[in-house]
C-alpha cells in the first residue's frame, strides 16, 4: 500500500470462489498482495468487505454495516435529534446543516447526522478504511429503508487538510472532526475496532493543522469530538463545549445557524 504510515502487513482474500475477480480488483486498487504471510487480511465475502486480524487470538472482523447491527440500532433507538452530537452540529427544528465530516473513520457519526436529515460529505485518508466505508455505503444504498439516508452521504478519499484547503464551490456550514486521540489506556474499554485500526491509522498528530483548515473553510461552525478529559486541540480556543459521559464536543462558532 502506498500509505507511508502503514506499519502492518496485509493481504487481500476472497471468501468464496465466485468473488475472486471482485477481490482481485480491490487488490489492484489498494495495492495489496493476494497471498503470502500477513498479519491482517482484507476479505471480500457475500456480506461485503471486512478487515480482520489473522491468528488464533485475534478479535473478529470489522466491516461497515449501516443496515444491521449497532449503527442501525442507534438509528432506531438512539435518541434522534436529542443526541449530543445533533446539538453539537446545531440540529434544531427546521435546521439541518450541511456537514463535512473530515475524519470519517467507519462513518458512524456521519450516519447519525445523515439519519437526522443532514447532507454529509465524508473524508477519509486511510485507503483501507475508505474502502470499507465505500463498500458499506454501497450496500446501504441498495437497502429500501436505509438507502435514502446513504444517498445523503458522499465519500471522498484523501487528506482532509489538502481537500479543505483546495475546496471548490459552496463551503460546508459545519465541519465535524473526530481525530484519533493518543490513548494511553490499554484496557478492554478500547473498542475492538480501535485496536484493529491503530496499526493502520496511528495517532492523528496533525490535528492542529486539520482544525486550522476547518476553521478557514466552515461557514458556520467547527465541532471537535474529544475524549471527555482530553485537552483541546492546539490552536484557537473553542467558544463552548458540550460534555457527555465519555466524550466532549468542543464547538468553534463562526456564525449563527438559522432557518433558510
Ligand X SMILES: C[S@@+](CC[C@H](N)C(=O)[O-])C[C@H]1O[C@@H](n2cnc3c(N)ncnc32)[C@H](O)[C@@H]1O
> x/- contact string, 166-185, with ligand X (CB under 6 A)?
------------xxx-----
Please say whether the beta carbons of 210 and 222 come within 8 A. no
Q: Is 233 in the site for ligand X (CB under 6 A)?
A: no
For the bound state, the minimum distance from the C-beta of residue 112 to ligand X, rounded and expressed in Å, comes to 8
The SS3 call for residue 259 is: coil
> x/- contact string, 61-100, with ligand X (CB under 6 A)?
----------------------------------------
Return the number of the residue (13 or 109) whose C-beta is nearest ligand X.
Answer: 109
Please tell me the distance from the alpha carbon of residue 61 to that of residue 36, in angstroms, as a whole number: 19
Count residues near ligand X (CB under 6 A).
20
Give kind and range of the element (H or E) at residue 40: strand 40-45
Exposure class string for 94-104: b at 16+ Cβ within 10 A, else e: ebbbbbbbbbb
| Range in contact with ligand X (rule: CB under 6 A) among 43-51, 72-80, 113-121, 156-164 | 156-164
Helix axes 127-141, 192-201, angle to 10 degrees: 130
Q: Is 155 in the site for ligand X (CB under 6 A)?
A: no
Residues contacting 209, CB < 8 A, separation 6+: 161
C-alpha cell at 76: 432506531
Candidates 113, 114, 129, 153; binder of ligand X (CB under 6 A) is: 129
Where on the chain is the footprint of ligand X (CB under 6 A)? 103, 105-109, 123-126, 129, 159-161, 178-180, 201, 204, 210
Amino acid at each position: 500500500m502506498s500509505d507511508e504510515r502503514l506499519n502492518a502487513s496485509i493481504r487481500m482474500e476472497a471468501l468464496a470462489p465466485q468473488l475472486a475477480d471482485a477481490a482481485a480488483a480491490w487488490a489492484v486498487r489498494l495495492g495489496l498482495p493476494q497471498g503470502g504471510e500477513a498479519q491482517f487480511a482484507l476479505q471480500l465475502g457475500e456480506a461485503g468487505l471486512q478487515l480482520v486480524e489473522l491468528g488464533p487470538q485475534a478479535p473478529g472482523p470489522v466491516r461497515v454495516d449501516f443496515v444491521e447491527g449497532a449503527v442501525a440500532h442507534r438509528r432506531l433507538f438512539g435518541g434522534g435529534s436529542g443526541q449530543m452530537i445533533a446539538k453539537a452540529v446545531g440540529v434544531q427544528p427546521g435546521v439541518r446543516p450541511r456537514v463535512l465530516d473530515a475524519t470519517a473513520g467507519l462513518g458512524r457519526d456521519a450516519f447519525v447526522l445523515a439519519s437526522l436529515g443532514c447532507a454529509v460529505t465524508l473524508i477519509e485518508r486511510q485507503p483501507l478504511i475508505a474502502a470499507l466505508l465505500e463498500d458499506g455505503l454501497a450496500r446501504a444504498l441498495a437497502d429500501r429503508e436505509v438507502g435514502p439516508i446513504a444517498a445523503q452521504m458522499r465519500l471522498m478519499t484523501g487528506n482532509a487538510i489538502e481537500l479543505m484547503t483546495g475546496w471548490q464551490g459552496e463551503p460546508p456550514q459545519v465541519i465535524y472532526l473526530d481525530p484519533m486521540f493518543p490513548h494511553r489506556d490499554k484496557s478492554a474499554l478500547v473498542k475492538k475496532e480501535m485496536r484493529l485500526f491503530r496499526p493502520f491509522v496511528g495517532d492523528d498528530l496533525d490535528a492542529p493543522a486539520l482544525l486550522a483548515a476547518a476553521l478557514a473553510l466552515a461557514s458556520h461552525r467547527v465541532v471537535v469530538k474529544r475524549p471527555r478529559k482530553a485537552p483541546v486541540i492546539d490552536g484557537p480556543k473553542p467558544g463552548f463545549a458540550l460534555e457527555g459521559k465519555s466524550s466532549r464536543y468542543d464547538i468553534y462558532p463562526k456564525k449563527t445557524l438559522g432557518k433558510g
